[in-house]
Structure 1
Amino acid sequence: MYVRIRDLRQKRNYSQGKIAHYLSCSQSSYSRIESGARELPVDILIKLAELYNVNVDYILGLTEFPYSLKNKSETENLE
């Protein structure tokens, strides 16, 4: 999971400081999250998923697909 968070950040050429600012935390605090020295809080997990436009399951390593695969009938039921 932590490698995936780092890879998503590096792929977009974002610094840890920039992500920390977005998350309203210190760079050192974010660095500890990214290295696995600190647990990933749920609120930060959600913010990262929104920032990178990926689903939470992808960040958690539960799927290899970064984007939701919703079929048309699922989205129609929401309307």
Structure 2
Amino acid sequence: MMYKRIRELREDHDLKQGYLAHYLNVSQRTYSRYETGERHIPLDILCRIADFYKVSVDYLLERTDVKRPYPPSRLSQKD
């Protein structure tokens, strides 16, 4: 699966692959492979990318065209 939105978001923010790779604690080569679909993105990394850009995972996976992330669920909030 190619993750074209991840590349589009990175380019829209004028960021280099190395910057995102450093943020995600992966090599630039690994990050490049995420963008091209040569390597599947682990769920925890996908969530970090979504949080970084403030978009939903569904947007990154092209399941929706709505960028806005979902509101946090009550289950994930600490009381």
Could you tell me the TM-score, scaled by structure 2's length?
0.84
- Distance in 2, matches of 1:27 and 1:33, equals 10
CA distance in 2, matches of 1:38, 1:6: 14
Q: Deviations over 1:14-71 (max 9, x none)?
A: 100000000000000100111100001101100000000001110011100000466x
- Aligned partners of 1:19, 1:68: CA distance in 2, in Å? 19
Structure whose alpha-carbon radius of gyration is higher:
1
Give identity over the alignment, percent.
Answer: 45
> Which has the bigger relative contact order, CA under 8 A and spacing at least 6?
2
> Which of the two has greater helix per residue?
1
Match of 1:32 in 2: 33
Report what 1:10 is aligned to.
Answer: 11
Matched, 1:21 2:4: no
Deviates more, 1:60-69 or 1:9-18: 60-69
**Where does the alignment leave 5 or more consecutive residues of structure 1 unmatched?**
none
CA contact 2:54–2:69 (8 Å) conserved in 1? no
Q: Is the contact made by 2:9 and 2:53 (CA closer than 8 Å) also made in structure 1?
A: yes
Count of paired positions = 74
Aligned positions of 1:1-79 closer than 5 A: 2-68=3-69
TM-score when scaled to structure 1? 0.84
